């Protein structure tokens, strides 16, 4: 089974600020990977490297055997929920169909195939009955499903999601994670999240990003991995059951 993503000794950052160090990472077509890590640890930068939006300072990145600038046509990206003008006159279907823009020539109209693919994406996320609803009337969970459908409309082989359930209540979050499990039957998924409980329950493997990537293609997270990423003791998450017994620890400054 050929890897869909490969990173070899990748360093990346912005100007003089190195954010990622010596990243080695491979993703298979059936992977569902959860990435956790502290704020500022480099999770979003890693996503941007995969999308070809940040060029590595050194190392090699391959997406479907191509450089990221070309390989990103195989990626569907779902950003965090963001605020927008709820009065903007655009329907749910119009938003999803935007996922076809990368397959259209500049200034060319959508065609019947684009419409069919957009409707299929809406069916995937169980939102087709609301296709003519203004996007501003949707709940947070519904809007996130629309963003997933927009990504699916590009017919990706890889799905990247950045905090897809932030600001969504737990019941709706569960339905989104279950949706992602179904989508994983036909595409690789990389999910960035701070929700360790959900990560441990739904993904197949877990990695920690904190400048370096601590990843062993396993679901279990060792104490050593978490302490390296978070710089403090955190108990394990494994077998789909979260165990949060946080050991008391004192920062070195406080101990002096």
Interval 34-80: pLDDT, tens: 999 888 899 999 999 999 999 999 999 999 999 999 999 999 999 87
* In the predicted structure, residue 153 carries a pLDDT above the cut 90: yes
Instruction: Assess contact for 8 and 213: CB atoms under 8 A.
Output: no
Pairing relationship of beta strands 205-210 and 212-215 according to DSSP bridges: antiparallel
pLDDT at 235: 46
Position with higher pLDDT, 87 vs 123: 123
Res. 228 pLDDT band, cuts 50 70 90: low
Say which CATH number the domain at 194 has: 3.40.50.300
Q: Buried (b) or exposed (e) across 166-178, using 16+ Cβ within 10 A?
A: eebeeebbebbbe
When pLDDT is averaged across residues 136-152 and rounded to a whole number, the result is 91
Q: Which residue has the tokens 């169980």?
A: 126
Better-predicted residue by pLDDT, 213 or 237: 213
Is residue 232 one of the residues assigned to a domain? yes
Query: What does the angle CA 157 – CA 82 – CA 190 come to, to the nearest 5 degrees?
Result: 25
Q: Is 111 part of a structural domain of the chain?
A: no
pTM of the entire predicted model: 0.84
Predicted local confidence at residue 1, as pLDDT: 75
- Mean local confidence (pLDDT), 141-145: 89
- Residue bearing the bigger pLDDT, 45 or 231: 45
pLDDT grade for 20, boundaries at 50, 70 and 90: very high
pLDDT at 178 over 50: yes
Q: Does some domain include residue 42?
A: yes
Q: How many residues does the chain have?
A: 256
Helix (H, G, I), strand (E, B) or coil at 10: strand
Instruction: Report the pLDDT value the prediction gives residue 230, as an integer from 0 to 100.
Output: 66
Closest CA relative to residue 52, chosen from 36, 69, 75, 40? 69
Domains identified in the chain, total number = 1
**Structural domain contains residue 117:** no
Q: What is the pLDDT of residue 121?
A: 96
Output the average pLDDT for the chain: 85
Tokens of 116: 């069919």
Q: Is residue 99 part of a domain?
A: no
Asked if residue 75 belongs to a domain, the reply is: yes
Q: Which domain holds residue 218?
A: 5-81+157-255
> Is residue 105 in some structural domain?
no
Beta strands at 158-162 and 188-192: parallel, antiparallel or unpaired = parallel
Q: Say if CB 160 and CB 75 are below 8 A apart.
A: yes
Residue with the two structure tokens 């993503």: 5
pLDDT over 60 (residue 254): no
In this structure, of 98-107, 137-146, 195-204, 240-249, the range with the lowest mean pLDDT score is 240-249
> What percentage of the chain exceeds 90 in pLDDT?
58
Average pLDDT of the segment spanning 125-131: 94
Tell the residue number behind the tokens 């897809």, with chain if given: 164
Helix (H) or strand (E) holding 32: strand 32-36
86 in any annotated domain: no
């Amino acid at each position: 089974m050929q890897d869909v993503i490969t990173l070899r000794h990748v360093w990346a950052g912005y100007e003089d600020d190195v954010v990622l160090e010596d990243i080695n990472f491979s993703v298979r077509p059936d992977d569902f990977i959860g990435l956790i890590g502290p704020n500022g640890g480099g999770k979003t930068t890693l996503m941007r490297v995969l999308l070809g939006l940040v060029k590595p300072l050194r190392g090699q990145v391959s997406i479907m055997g191509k450089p990221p600038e070309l390989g990103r046509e195989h990626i569907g990206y779902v950003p965090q929920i963001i605020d927008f003008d709820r009065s903007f006159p655009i329907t749910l279907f119009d938003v999803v169909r935007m996922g076809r823009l990368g397959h259209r020539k500049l200034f060319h109209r959508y065609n019947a195939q684009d419409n069919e693919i957009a409707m299929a994406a809406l069916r995937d996320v169980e939102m087709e009955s609301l296709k003519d609803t203004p996007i501003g009337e949707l709940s947070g969970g519904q809007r996130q499903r629309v963003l997933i459908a927009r990504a699916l409309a590009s017919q990706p082989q890889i799905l990247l999601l950045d905090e897809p359930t932030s600001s969504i209540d737990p019941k709706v979050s569960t339905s989104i994670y279950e949706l992602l499990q179904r989508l994983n039957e036909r595409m690789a998924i990389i999910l960035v999240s701070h929700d360790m409980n959900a990560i441990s329950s739904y993904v197949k493997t877990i990695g920690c990003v904190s400048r370096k990537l601590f990843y062993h293609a396993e679901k279990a997270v060792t104490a050593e991995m978490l302490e390296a990423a978070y710089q403090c003791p955190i108990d394990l998450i494994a077998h789909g059951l979260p165990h949060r017994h946080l050991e008391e620890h004192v920062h070195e400054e406080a101990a002096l």
